[in-house]
Amino acid sequence: MTTAPDRAETGAARAVARLRDRMTAGELAPGTPLPESFWTVELEVSRNTLREAFSTLIEEGLLVRYPHRGVFVATLSPAQIADIYRVRVLLECTALRQAPTDPPRAGALRAAVDDALAAAEAGEWRAVGTANMHFHEQIVALAGSPRLDGWMRQLTAELRLAFAAAPDYEALHRPFVPMNDEITRVYEDGDALVAADLLRDYLLTSERVVLGVLP
């Protein structure tokens, strides 16, 4: 029988996941206030459960709490963004370099690339950004570790907060759609090592681009 604390923990975990997903989708921009009166209704949770979810996201660096003002979506500093990219290079490149190639597990990567290509064709550049982040989550998923998948979801949510500073979403995301396609093609051809090298160059370029658009 499920106890009340277990239900509360499950509710908080669901609330964390839903808020993080909204950040990843670009629906919650840096500096957005998160009033409890709205989010308890929106997420269908109690005030205590919401506060537990907020505390988790504050620990992850996705939210900040200001005394007498409330909880807000975090704004990342250049140093924080650079640190995210250091972790991404270690995490993503290792996962891809060690990924099985007999046969390659490229289906989810190819689906994310196709989503980005379709969104680019439609001129929906925010959706392109979301598809690109799903692509990188699927790279880490090649490792087969739920723990690493959770860490990567946190990183992509943080990264979306960095993207929010970009004045031109098309200029930010367009160059990386063909790069994702090439990385996937090379991995599909069975060369994970070359794909990982391409990914490292990609991430270093992405870091320069994102830091370059910061005000």
pLDDT at 106: 95
pLDDT beyond 70 at 4: no
| CA distances from residue 122 to 125, 126, 169, 202 in whole angstroms, order as listed | 8, 11, 14, 24
Q: State whether 197 and 103 are in the same domain.
A: yes
- Domain closes at, from 73, 105, 122: 73
Tokens of 182: 């090439």
Higher pLDDT, 6 or 188: 188
Which of the four pLDDT bands, split at 50, 70 and 90, describes residue 8? very low
pLDDT at 215: 65
Number of domains forming the structure of the chain: 2
Q: State whether 19 and 68 are in the same domain.
A: yes
pLDDT at 67: 93
pLDDT above 90 coverage of the chain, percent: 73
pLDDT beyond 90 at 214: no
CATH of the domain at 43: 1.10.10.10
pLDDT at 154: 87
Q: State whether 99 and 150 are in the same domain.
A: yes
Q: State whether 174 and 201 are in the same domain.
A: yes
Q: State whether 144 and 194 are in the same domain.
A: yes
Q: State whether 30 and 94 are in the same domain.
A: no
pLDDT in tens, 15-67: 999 999 898 887 888 999 999 999 999 999 999 999 999 999 999 889 999 99
| CA distances from residue 34 to 30, 44, 57, 105, 133 in whole angstroms, order as listed | 11, 14, 12, 39, 24
- Domain closes at, from 73, 103, 132: 73
Q: State whether 134 and 206 are in the same domain.
A: yes
Non-local CB neighbours of 110 within 8 Å, separated by 6+ positions: 184, 188
Q: State whether 16 and 56 are in the same domain.
A: yes
Q: State whether 17 and 51 are in the same domain.
A: yes
Q: State whether 124 and 48 are in the same domain.
A: no
pLDDT beyond 60 at 3: no
Nearest partner of 131 among 121, 143, 144, judged by Cα: 121
CATH of the domain at 91: 1.20.120.530
- Domain closes at, from 58, 73, 88: 73
Q: State whether 198 and 117 are in the same domain.
A: yes
Supply the pTM of this predicted model. 0.81
pLDDT beyond 80 at 80: yes
Which of the four pLDDT bands, split at 50, 70 and 90, describes residue 2? very low
Q: State whether 94 and 175 are in the same domain.
A: yes
pLDDT beyond 60 at 129: yes
User: Domain limits at 128?
Assistant: 78-212
